Amino acid sequence: MCGFGGYFGSNRDGRPLLEKMTAAIAHRGPDEQGLFTAPLIGLGHVRLSIVGLGDGQQPMSDASGELTIAFNGEIFNYVELREQLRAKGRRFRTLSDTEVILHLYDTMGEDCVSMLNGDFAFAIWDARRRRLMLARDRMGVRPLFYTQHGGTLYFASEVKALLQVPGVSAEIDPIALDQIFTLWAPIAPRTPFRNIHELEPAHLMIADESGIVARPYWNLQYPDRDSPPRYTDERGAAEELRALLTDATRIRMRADVPVGAYLSGGLDSSIVSALAAGMTPQGLRTFSVTFDSAEHDESAFQQEMAAALGTHHSAVACGAGDIARAFPEVIRFTERPILRTAPAPLYQLSGLVREAGLKVVLTGEGADEVFAGYDIFKESRVRRFCGRQPGSRMRPHLFRKLYPYLPSLKQQSAEYLAAFFGAGNDALDDPLFSHRPRLKGTAAAKMFFSGDLRAELKDYDATAELVSRLPQDFDRWHPLHQAQYLESRFLLPGYILSSQGDRMAMAHGIEGRFPFLDHRLVEFAASLPPEMKLKGLVEKHILREATTDLLPPSIGKRTKQPYRAPDSHSFSGPGELDYVLAALGEESIDAGGLFSAKAVAKLYEKCRSRPASGFRDNAAFVGILSTQLWLQTFTSASIREAEAA
């Protein structure tokens, strides 16, 4: 149930516009399409049927016809909610989760969102109050964009639907581009499209004739650093975690179609697959990507885990040529410049799932944020450790231990290791302490910005804006929790879930579901003491304790291998593609006006001549290429040309 668009306000050609908007996002909902119009309101929906196959058509109105909803996503606790509502006398005409939202809204109004356990974005038209309510899920799984034009509010699951509105066109937002080239993602509600915004995760928006107001309905909270821990018994915490994760998985297996799972070979997807396999008596189907590049490949672990679980496993091989060939489509679906190629293999993977005839998969996404799995959490801890003895020659070697998969660190001296990671240099009370080296390293890629772009940006500082968005309580949190917050509230919805999650899955009409992002589990994990999550330098400690019996030791004890894909080398190796040459050529770069053509040419030559590039060169290469593709795909001139053809 996976895509919608609409408007609130006057619109003389409502129905034809809605048809264009839904056509633009047809990939999200290949099974059905529906429209609803009334004075002041229009809703269009495209549906991927998963729950209530026969009776979940949308947009859906209640029995009185006064409430109408267009809904993207799933409400996993709809069974329990429906029973509660029935007990209060509510009558249901369908078995869908969509109708549950309508009834809940009718009884609770705006506060209905607090009862929902799910991944969702929806629009409810309340004809009685002449009011539109938009809502988006807590963790930012399902997207929702909006813009205002001619006094009317337009909203949709993807920007490409909004671009169907006459007068709304794609134009780069320079500040968003600066944010992407510094923070890896724009700071919501800003998007790369000027004047097109994103409804922030855990927010709702109320639009009526008096105006438009957006507000949060949920916040991710961590305990104060000095407060007594809520959990001191590790075994008890592990048991509660296991129960929560099992229930989160159970309710995400609710579907009228088969549910599969991604099985990357890592801890998180192995746990989810193990739990799901236990709930799938007919046999679970699992899927993974394998890489030609040994540095990135995890197929041995995938096969071991699939064999241990007895799943029916399928894999898609990803070579450098595959990433380059898929990349233009990847950008059409991410709808934004990106600095890594990691979404591309996931685009291939969702294609594999679709070919296998499935529509839904569980994944392990979110565990690294919620249970402190990322290397950046360990790196930050080591940096603080080094900062306490800046002159130490031994402590910096811990960085090499952290990153065994990075060849460029293998030969470095203690002094260079300390210098690269900013050990001892950064103020320990910097709110962005954990991410500062990465932000600086990424921002170096802005040296390719054109003179015009630099002039437009002037002294804009993306990191200062990020700091200004942090919650008031942030300073009172433990450093690990501060770092987790940055990953969970900013990078997870802004980059991981958008570029690697929803958008890559939905490109092939696949719905991803994420047990680790069940808000009950998120809240529970946030309340745990830091040492239960990152124990010394062992990541996701409590999660391992809770799931030991589910996994072969080789997987349960694995140090995390980050999910990565080959970057610039994918485009400049054998079988170079014409579109890359064209996109990075002087004519295209100058036409775009965003980068220095001379510098880009030198970068391209450097990446071609050497297979191994550093993070900055890789980020710059992929960032520039994806921005050029974005311009080609979305800007008005291209659209007008496409329409003229």
Partner 1 sequence: MTETIRDKVKAFITENFLFGDTSHELADMASLIENDIIDSTGVLELVAFIEDNFGLAMADSDIVPQNLDSVARISAFIAAKAAMPVTA
Binding site for partner 1 (CB under 8 A): 406, 408-409, 411-413, 415-416, 419-420, 440-441, 443-444, 447-448, 451, 596, 598-600, 602-603, 606, 610, 612-617
Q: Which CB, 114 or 413, lies closer to partner 1?
A: 413
Query: Of 535 and 616, which CB lies nearer to partner 1 in the complex structure?
Result: 616
Residue 620 φ/ψ, nearest 5 degrees: -65, -45
CA distance 517 to 487: 13
Quote the CA–CA distance of 5 and 17 in Å, as a whole number.
10
Whole-angstrom distance, CA of residue 26 vs CA of residue 168: 20
Q: Show the DSSP H helices in 559-596 as ranges.
A: 569-572, 578-584, 586-592
**E strand or H helix at 318, and its extent?**
strand 312-318
Residue 371: both structure tokens together: 């249970």
Helix, strand or coil for residue 468?
Answer: helix
Q: How many residues does the chain have?
A: 645
Query: In this structure, what token pair is assigned to residue 531?
Result: 């040492």
Pick the closest to residue 105 from 162, 144, 45, 60 (CA basis). 60
Q: Rounded CA gap, 124 and 59, in Å?
A: 9
| Assigned token pair, 219 | 């916040």
Contacts of 639 (CB under 8 A, 6+ apart): 163, 169, 170
Residues 6+ apart with CB under 8 A from 147: 153, 154, 162, 165, 168, 195, 196, 197
Pick the closer one to partner 1 by CB: 239 or 416: 416
Nearer to partner 1, 56 or 437 (CB): 437
Contact 246, 258 (CB under 8 A): no
- Bridge partners of 316, per DSSP, are 289
Least distance between partner 1 and beta carbon 418 (Å): 9
Q: Output the smallest distance, CB 432 to partner 1, in A.
A: 16
Taking the complex as a whole, the smallest distance from the CB of residue 438 to partner 1 amounts, in Å, to: 11
Q: Compute the least distance from the CB of residue 409 to partner 1, in Å.
A: 5
Rounded to a whole number of angstroms, the minimum distance from the CB of residue 448 to partner 1 is 7
Shortest distance (Å) from residue 571 CB to partner 1: 17
Helix (H, G, I), strand (E, B) or coil at 36: strand
Q: Is 112 a catalytic residue?
A: no
105: Cβ–Cβ under 8 A, 6 or more apart, which residues?
67, 69, 112, 124, 126, 133
Minimum Å gap between C-beta 454 and partner 1 is 9
d(CA 538, CA 73): 35
Stated as kind and residue range, the H or E segment containing 570 is helix 569-572
Nearer to partner 1, 331 or 417 (CB): 417
Nearer to partner 1, 385 or 615 (CB): 615
Closest to partner 1 by CB, 290 vs 613, is 613
- In the 8-state DSSP scheme, what is residue 445? G
Of 91 and 410, the one with the shorter C-beta distance to partner 1 is: 410
Least separation, in Å, of the C-beta of 183 and partner 1?
Answer: 15
Catalytic residues: 2
